[in-house]
């Protein structure tokens, strides 16, 4: 560090000891930095100091009365005393004031034993409760949908108000009324209508905010088991609260994992799915038209027999597997090992890889060192943020929390480019709306504007040379064709240039886009030019790990190509089993199913009929297989077609590891016993492999992790012991460590609007993801069915109003939805939530149309 950038320091004395701390520290921070403990109540590390309780007050020489240490910055020469008789009395008095309206209801309060107020009262030795308001009487508990507010227990510390604004960006809570009438009130109307992230519940130091899910335990009866959220790809740490073998709630902890105690509704309230009555408990085998209960041995025997028969008669290529991206790394590794080394079949897929292999298993072949994977540390270091085709608040909400904190603390500017108007608070410095299908043109315009503004090449050569149509694309032409003004493009480019090192987030819309890989390549040129990085939002908890472990036909684990004799030789030698190379183009599993080439299909943990594009076609394809094996934790649409159905454990019931969006491998821990006879996938595939003649003796998941740590490039050394605390970032392959230029084309996507005026973007609801969330009562209460977001202008044209029921039709099908009229949608674009098996939005997609267009009409209800 050079002298000009050196942090300035301040000298002061704390309890007689001279210390030197960075300028800008508060007295509290300075004291803690030097091992001096000052009691606090309203202070929370992740929030700006609130200064409402006065418990942290200290004596400062020259000040007549104690001052709050959490809000007071240090100054040179300051003399601070943190503990004295007078301070003790002062803090006790403050506690008595705080307790004025607080009944001593500890025996019936659900926070008893984990209440900061209880702890401070005890530590400060406050034994009397002398102050009472004149007309002290209890008020009723407020029903806030998924939360409850008990004004009687509220100490008005304001943590809930601040966390909802500073971290969640919602601002759903405020203090209403004065004096004895004061209470926390929703700003959303009579009751709360918000993201239901539960950050307010988590930070409330007392029992004033509680969950509407009945909590049937006392804190001392609970064992907390740290694990990873099984929903999205952020990889948040959660604590399972287990009482007598049952999962009674999930809590967060600011001191573990990547999420700083923040969770979204799915992570905090989705745990009901674990003990849902809908859980599938026993192996089933088809007997005539019905599925009948059977034992594991019979079921596995049956599957092994059918696979052997298919391989004998039609060859190994007649057996395929589609695997969920929610299986663990250990499951994924073993599934592909059984298929490749045991069955000699390379028909291995995930739904994401089937949709967009270039951004999944082929990502490093496609983009080398510029692959859009970036550590979350980059969020704090970025000069600017660019959300490109990304609705950050709804897609990976806890990443949005991290971005918001960086904006609060560092003033990092945000730029948004989208076909819609996703909301974000604090507001973006600039938002440009482009026409769907013109994304690479907009990227070309931004690159051109950056170049023309004099930015050097960032080591990538002339990025405009990589635009295939660069000869004829000027900034003004490209901007105009993308539906953006030239002035807006130049302003955004200037903003990115001035702020430097952009972190560009590619949303799910880009991941699912017919030109997703092209857009990623285009934007990597932009990022490289400006010294930045891309981060692609993945969908599920182990989407990244599924790719890393070789769940796609083009790569073995660690991105070694399956068409390489050398890679096949490597795994043959390591596995001790002759494993062939698999040359040739990747097969299209669904087309081959329809063509009758696949005789046995295994579907592991997912529901392709509900969650893959063109569900009708998927159904026909799966029906074409002679024998279908489905593994999962709940019944689903695909399960209806099963000949054998095998119950699997959910994340809370097992060990293993997931690799998150940033390439961090993290440990999953077992909190509760599996329901019924369910087993983790690795056990099922181990038993199948053994039946098929493989020599496999894994007894624990950890043994598989050890094999991964020994064999898989990037994962070397990452045993469960090694990742037990905090996880570890994978070392990914890259073509080079230097920034590169990537060719991309600027062709737009034509789409025929006749009869179908709206482009449909289909994505996840904030409250649902995959199969499990539909089995949580709380999440279903928050989002009971599919919604259509439509702009106010379009709503008028179509004749629908907010809350109406409507039918959405495409060339392929129709579904019923609830209408949400919102400025989030722009004219001509509608957004439809997927995940609802009773209204599967993916059934609107026709696989031969790159863009899904729909019409909307109101129904009677």
Interacting residue ranges for ligand SF4, rule: CB under 6 A: 154-160, 163-164, 168, 170, 172-173, 184, 192, 194-200, 203-204, 206, 208-209, 229, 231-232, 234-236, 259, 263-264, 266-267, 396-398
Edge-to-edge strands, sheet with 664-668: 656-659, 664-668, 728-729
> At its nearest, how many Å lie between ligand FES and the CB of residue 267?
28
> At its nearest, how many Å lie between ligand SF4 and the CB of residue 704?
23
Q: Which is nearer to ligand FES, 54 or 404 (CB)?
A: 54
**H or E stretch at 433:** strand 430-433
Burial track 840-856 (b if 16+ CB lie within 10 A, e otherwise): bbbbbbbeebebbbbbb
CA distance 809 to 516: 25
The values of phi and psi at residue 219, to 5°, are -55, -35
Report the interface residues with ligand FES, using CB under 6 A: 40-43, 51-56, 68, 70
CA distance 598 to 591: 10
Cβ(650)–Cβ(633) under 8 Å?
yes
| Binding partner at 168 among ligand FES, ligand SF4, none, C-beta below 5 to 8 Å by kind | ligand SF4
> At its nearest, how many Å lie between ligand FES and the CB of residue 95?
11
Cβ(758)–Cβ(856) under 8 Å?
yes
**H or E stretch at 461:** none
> At its nearest, how many Å lie between ligand FES and the CB of residue 56?
3
| Binding partner at 170 among ligand SF4, ligand FES, none, C-beta below 5 to 8 Å by kind | ligand SF4
Q: Which is nearer to ligand FES, 41 or 390 (CB)?
A: 41
| Binding partner at 617 among ligand SF4, ligand FES, none, C-beta below 5 to 8 Å by kind | none
Q: Which is nearer to ligand FES, 57 or 791 (CB)?
A: 57
CA distance 11 to 469: 61
> At its nearest, how many Å lie between ligand FES and the CB of residue 62?
20
| Binding partner at 53 among ligand FES, ligand SF4, none, C-beta below 5 to 8 Å by kind | ligand FES
| Binding partner at 354 among ligand SF4, ligand FES, none, C-beta below 5 to 8 Å by kind | none
Bond prior to 379 in cis (omega within 30° of 0)? no
3-state DSSP call for residue 611? Answer: helix
Q: Which is nearer to ligand SF4, 194 or 668 (CB)?
A: 194
CA distance 609 to 860: 28
| Binding partner at 321 among ligand SF4, ligand FES, none, C-beta below 5 to 8 Å by kind | none
| Binding partner at 56 among ligand SF4, ligand FES, none, C-beta below 5 to 8 Å by kind | ligand FES
CA distance 48 to 189: 27
| Binding partner at 199 among ligand FES, ligand SF4, none, C-beta below 5 to 8 Å by kind | ligand SF4
> At its nearest, how many Å lie between ligand FES and the CB of residue 142?
24
Q: Which is nearer to ligand SF4, 13 or 375 (CB)?
A: 375
Secondary-structure percent of the chain, ordered helix, strand, coil, rounded to 5 = 35, 20, 45
Q: Which is nearer to ligand SF4, 231 or 434 (CB)?
A: 231
| Binding partner at 428 among ligand FES, ligand SF4, none, C-beta below 5 to 8 Å by kind | none
| Binding partner at 54 among ligand SF4, ligand FES, none, C-beta below 5 to 8 Å by kind | ligand FES
> At its nearest, how many Å lie between ligand FES and the CB of residue 90?
12
| Binding partner at 475 among ligand SF4, ligand FES, none, C-beta below 5 to 8 Å by kind | none
> At its nearest, how many Å lie between ligand SF4 and the CB of residue 188?
8
> At its nearest, how many Å lie between ligand FES and the CB of residue 87?
13
Q: Which is nearer to ligand FES, 21 or 222 (CB)?
A: 21
> At its nearest, how many Å lie between ligand FES and the CB of residue 112?
22
Token readout for 761 is 């973007």
Q: Which is nearer to ligand SF4, 171 or 713 (CB)?
A: 171
> At its nearest, how many Å lie between ligand FES and the CB of residue 49?
6
- Tell me the residue number closest to ligand SF4, measured at CB: 267
> At its nearest, how many Å lie between ligand FES and the CB of residue 16?
22
- As a residue count, the chain comes to 861
Which neighbouring-strand residues pair with 243? 246
CA distance 535 to 193: 30
| Binding partner at 209 among ligand FES, ligand SF4, none, C-beta below 5 to 8 Å by kind | ligand SF4
Q: Which is nearer to ligand FES, 56 or 173 (CB)?
A: 56
Q: Which is nearer to ligand FES, 53 or 467 (CB)?
A: 53
The 3-state secondary structure of 84-152 reads CHHHHHHHHHHHHHHHHHCCCCHHHCCCCCCCHHHHHHHHCCCCCCCCCCCCCCCCCCEEECCEEECHH
Q: Which is nearer to ligand SF4, 203 or 526 (CB)?
A: 203
CA distance 673 to 670: 8
- With CA atoms as reference, report the closest residue to 745 among 353, 437, 457: 437
**H or E stretch at 709:** helix 701-711
Residue 113 CB contacts under 8 Å (≥ 6 apart), including other chains? 218, 219, 220
């Amino acid at each position: 560090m050079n002298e000009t950038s050196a942090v300035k320091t301040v000298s002061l004395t704390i309890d007689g000891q001279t210390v030197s701390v960075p300028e800008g520290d508060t007295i509290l921070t300075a004291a803690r930095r030097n091992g001096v403990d000052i009691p606090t109540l309203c202070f929370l590390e992740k929030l700006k100091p609130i200064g409402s309780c006065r418990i942290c007050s200290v004596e400062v020489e020259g000040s007549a009365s104690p001052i709050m240490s959490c809000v007071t910055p240090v100054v040179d020469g300051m003399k601070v005393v943190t503990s004295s008789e007078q301070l003790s009395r002062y803090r006790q008095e403050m506690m008595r004031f705080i307790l004025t309206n607080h009944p001593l209801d500890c025996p019936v309060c659900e926070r008893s034993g984990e209440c900061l107020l209880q702890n401070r009262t005890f530590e400060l030795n406050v034994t009397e409760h002398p102050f009472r308001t004149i007309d002290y009487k209890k008020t009723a508990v407020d029903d806030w949908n998924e939360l409850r507010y008990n004004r009687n227990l509220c100490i008005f510390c304001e943590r809930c108000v601040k966390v909802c604004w500073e971290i969640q960006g919602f601002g759903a809570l405020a203090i209403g009324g004065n004096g004895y009438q004061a209470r926390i009130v929703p700003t959303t109307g009579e009751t709360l209508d918000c993201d239901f992230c539960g950050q307010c519940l988590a930070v409330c130091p007392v029992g004033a905010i509680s969950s509407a899910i009945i909590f049937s335990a006392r804190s001392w009866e609970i064992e907390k088991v740290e694990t990873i959220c099984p929903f999205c790809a952020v990889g948040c740490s959660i604590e399972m609260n287990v009482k007598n073998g049952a999962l009674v709630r999930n809590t967060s902890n600011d001191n573990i994992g990547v999420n700083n105690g923040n969770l979204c509704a799915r992570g905090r309230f989705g745990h009901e799915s674990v003990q849902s009555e809908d859980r599938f408990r026993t192996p089933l085998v088809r007997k005539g038209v019905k599925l009948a209960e059977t034992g594991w041995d019979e079921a596995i025997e049956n599957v092994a027999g059918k696979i052997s028969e298919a391989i004998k008669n039609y060859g190994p290529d007649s057996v395929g597997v589609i695997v969920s991206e929610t299986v663990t790394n250990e499951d994924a590794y073993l599934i592909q090992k059984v298929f490749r080394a045991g069955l000699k079949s390379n028909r291995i897929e995930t739904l994401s890889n089937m949709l967009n292999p270039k951004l999944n298993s082929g990502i490093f072949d496609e983009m080398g060192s510029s692959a859009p994977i970036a550590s979350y540390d980059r969020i704090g270091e970025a000069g600017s943020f660019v959300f490109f085709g990304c609705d950050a608040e709804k897609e990976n909400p806890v990443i949005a929390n991290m971005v918001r904190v960086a904006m609060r603390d560092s003033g990092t500017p945000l730029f948004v480019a989208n076909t819609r108007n996703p909301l974000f608070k604090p507001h973006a410095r600039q938002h440009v709306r482009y026409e769907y299908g013109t994304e690479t043109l907009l990227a070309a315009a931004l690159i051109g504007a950056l170049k023309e503004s004099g930015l050097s090449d960032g080591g990538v050569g002339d990025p405009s040379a990589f635009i295939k149509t660069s000869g004829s694309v000027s900034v003004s032409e490209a901007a105009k064709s993308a539906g953006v003004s030239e002035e807006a493009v130049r302003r955004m480019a200037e903003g990115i240039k001035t702020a430097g090192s952009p972190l560009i987030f590619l949303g799910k819309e880009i991941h699912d886009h017919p030109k997703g890989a092209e857009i990623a390549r285009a934007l990597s040129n932009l990022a490289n030019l400006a010294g930045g990085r891309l981060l692609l939002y993945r969908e599920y908890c182990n989407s990244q790990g599924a790719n890393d472990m070789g769940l796609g036909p083009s790569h073995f684990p660690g991105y070694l190509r399956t068409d390489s004799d050398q890679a096949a030789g490597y795994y043959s030698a390591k596995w001790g089993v002759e494993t062939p190379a698999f040359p040739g183009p990747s097969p299209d599993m669904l087309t081959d199913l329809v063509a009758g080439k696949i005789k046995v299909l295994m579907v592991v943990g997912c529901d392709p009929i509900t969650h893959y594009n063109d569900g009708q076609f998927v159904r026909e394809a799966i029906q074409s297989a002679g024998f279908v094996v489905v593994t999962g934790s709940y019944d689903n649409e695909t399960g209806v077609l099963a000949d054998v159905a095998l119950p699997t454990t959910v994340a809370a019931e097992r060990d293993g590891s997931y690799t998150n969006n940033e390439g961090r491998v993290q440990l999953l821990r077992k909190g509760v016993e599996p329901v019924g006879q369910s087993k983790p996938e690795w056990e099922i595939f181990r038993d199948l492999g053994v039946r098929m003649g493989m020599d496999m003796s894994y007894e624990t998941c950890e043994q598989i992790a050890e094999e991964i740590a020994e064999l898989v490039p990037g994962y070397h050394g990452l045993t469960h012991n090694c990742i037990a605390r905090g996880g570890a970032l994978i070392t990914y392959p890259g073509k080079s460590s230097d920034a590169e230029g990537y060719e991309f084309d600027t062709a737009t996507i034509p789409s025929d609007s006749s009869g179908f005026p709206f482009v449909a973007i289909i994505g996840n609801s904030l409250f649902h993801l995959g199969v499990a969330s539909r089995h949580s009562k709380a999440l279903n209460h928050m989002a009971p069915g599919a919604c259509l977001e439509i702009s106010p202008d379009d709503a008028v044209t179509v004749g629908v109003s907010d809350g109406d029921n409507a039918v959405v039709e495409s060339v392929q099908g129709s579904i019923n939805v609830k209408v949400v009229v919102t400025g989030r949608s722009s004219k001509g674009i509608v957004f439809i939530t997927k995940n609802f098996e009773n209204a599967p939005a993916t059934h609107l997609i026709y696989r031969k149309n790159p863009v899904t267009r729909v019409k909307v009409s109101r129904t009677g209800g």
